[in-house]
Amino acid sequence: MPTGPRRSVDATAVHGGRRAQDHLRRLGQTNDVPADRVTEVLRLTGLADVGHRRVGGFSLGMKQRLGSPRRCSAIPGS
């Protein structure tokens, strides 16, 4: 059974005016993850082709995938 605080991730918690790659860069900064990991995370989440787009235009599923690394408390593989 998992220990520690449980967090619910709201898919709409991402600033709609921010690009997906910028969102992941900020997330990485707060978790001491190198910026060069952003491309890999976009690829792992299936968002590599849309990383340059603003999140406000994303579907709910795309926003949920963008929030996946945050569910792990950091960018995967860090």
For residue 56 the two structure tokens come to 């406000």
If one counts every other C-beta atom within 10 angstroms of the C-beta of residue 38, the result is 21
- For residue 54, what are the β-bridge partners? 19
For residue 72 the two structure tokens come to 């792990």
Rg (CA), the chain: 12
- The whole-number pLDDT of residue 3 equals 53
If one counts every other C-beta atom within 10 angstroms of the C-beta of residue 36, the result is 9
Mean pLDDT rounded to a whole number for the chain? 79
Terminal Cα-to-Cα distance of the chain (whole angstroms) = 23
Across 12-16, 57-61, 73-77, which has the greatest mean pLDDT? 57-61
